[in-house]
Amino acid sequence: MSGPARRLVLWNIDLTLVDVAQVTRAACAEAFAAVAGRPLVRLPQLAGRAESEIFFDALALNGVDVRADGTAERLLQPFTAALAAAMQARAGDLARQGRLLPGAAEALAAAAKLDGTVQTVLTGSSKANAELKLRAFGLDRLVDLGIGGYGDEAYPKGTLLTVARQRAADKHRVSFAEGATVYVADSPRDMEAARIAGVAALAVASGRASAAELRAAGAAAALEDLTDTARVVSLITELTGPR
């Protein structure tokens, strides 16, 4: 980063930068069976969701008795630990069975060169799993993982985006205004998180939703993918500049 920090770019990971769904599903199934004592037969919707949300939905979908006595909440921490261990054990499979989405590395590298730009992630993955996924494709060096927002934190994603902005501000000793912040992501739930946080969302239709659906969900702009690096950079600059 050259010049004083003044722009914050947050990136979603899964289906925005990488597709490691096959490995993630296998790790989730292993962790769920270990914690819940039964196989994961029905997998919940993953797009735009935190690992904790996925776990609680999986309990209900797979017939685990979820009572109001805190049983489910007590299972969450063991599940998070088991999932991290299962993902770590499959670290070598991430690049072999997953893929770096077209243009993702180039877009990250180009945005990092924008004057005064700080980049991090806002993801439904835990911090440990986010680091694994990015490292598998050499993307971890392009973002500041210390100021990101992660799925193992006790915040809904919209609030977490604001928390990540504050972390960046504390580190760089400068306020990143809503208008100087953009969230690059692929799901309608991510668009909603950006709306709640009051920041612009740059949608990428590389996930389960179309560009039209993402615009309808509140995206300020939408791309089919990240392959046009110049266009990605132009939109990031536009969406974080003076309105």
Q: Does the structure show a pLDDT above 80 at 47?
A: no
Confidence of residue 215 (pLDDT cuts 50, 70, 90): very high
Q: Examine the fold and report which residue of 62, 95, 128 is the final residue of a domain before the chain moves on.
A: 95
Claim to verify: residue 14 and residue 126 sit in the same structural domain:
yes
Q: Which long-range contacts (CB under 8 A, 24 or more apart) does 54-63 make?
A: 54/28, 54/124, 55/79, 55/80, 58/28, 58/32, 62/32, 62/36, 62/38, 63/38
Task: Look at residue 2 and tell me if it is in a domain.
Answer: no
What does DSSP assign to residue 178?
G
Claim to verify: residue 128 and residue 228 sit in the same structural domain:
yes
What does DSSP assign to residue 103?
T
Confidence of residue 158 (pLDDT cuts 50, 70, 90): very high
Counting the structural domains of the chain, the total is 2
Give the pair of three-digit tokens for residue 194: 């950006």
Task: Look at residue 62 and tell me if it is in a domain.
Answer: yes
Task: Look at residue 147 and tell me if it is in a domain.
Answer: yes
Claim to verify: residue 131 and residue 222 sit in the same structural domain:
yes
Q: Which range, 10-19, 38-47, 74-83, has the best average confidence (pLDDT)?
A: 10-19
Claim to verify: residue 116 and residue 210 sit in the same structural domain:
yes
Task: Look at residue 216 and tell me if it is in a domain.
Answer: yes
Claim to verify: residue 113 and residue 67 sit in the same structural domain:
no
What CATH number is attached to the domain comprising 165?
3.40.50.1000
| Cα Rg of the chain (Å, integer) | 18
Claim to verify: residue 15 and residue 128 sit in the same structural domain:
yes
Claim to verify: residue 28 and residue 11 sit in the same structural domain:
no
CB-side neighbour CA atoms (13 Å) of 75: 23
Claim to verify: residue 121 and residue 162 sit in the same structural domain:
yes
Among 45-54, 136-145, 231-240, the range scoring the smallest mean pLDDT is 45-54
Confidence of residue 73 (pLDDT cuts 50, 70, 90): confident
Claim to verify: residue 40 and residue 115 sit in the same structural domain:
no
Task: Look at residue 136 and tell me if it is in a domain.
Answer: yes
Mean pLDDT for 72-95 is: 92
Q: Examine the fold and report which residue of 95, 114, 136 is the final residue of a domain before the chain moves on.
A: 95
Per-residue model confidence (pLDDT) at position 20: 96
Strand-by-strand arrangement of the 117-121 sheet:
117-121, 7-11, 181-185, 200-204, 221-223
Claim to verify: residue 62 and residue 108 sit in the same structural domain:
no
Claim to verify: residue 121 and residue 191 sit in the same structural domain:
yes
Claim to verify: residue 104 and residue 91 sit in the same structural domain:
no
Q: Examine the fold and report which residue of 95, 110, 140 is the final residue of a domain before the chain moves on.
A: 95
Domain with 171, as residue range(s), is 7-19+99-239
Task: Look at residue 91 and tell me if it is in a domain.
Answer: yes
Task: Look at residue 1 and tell me if it is in a domain.
Answer: no
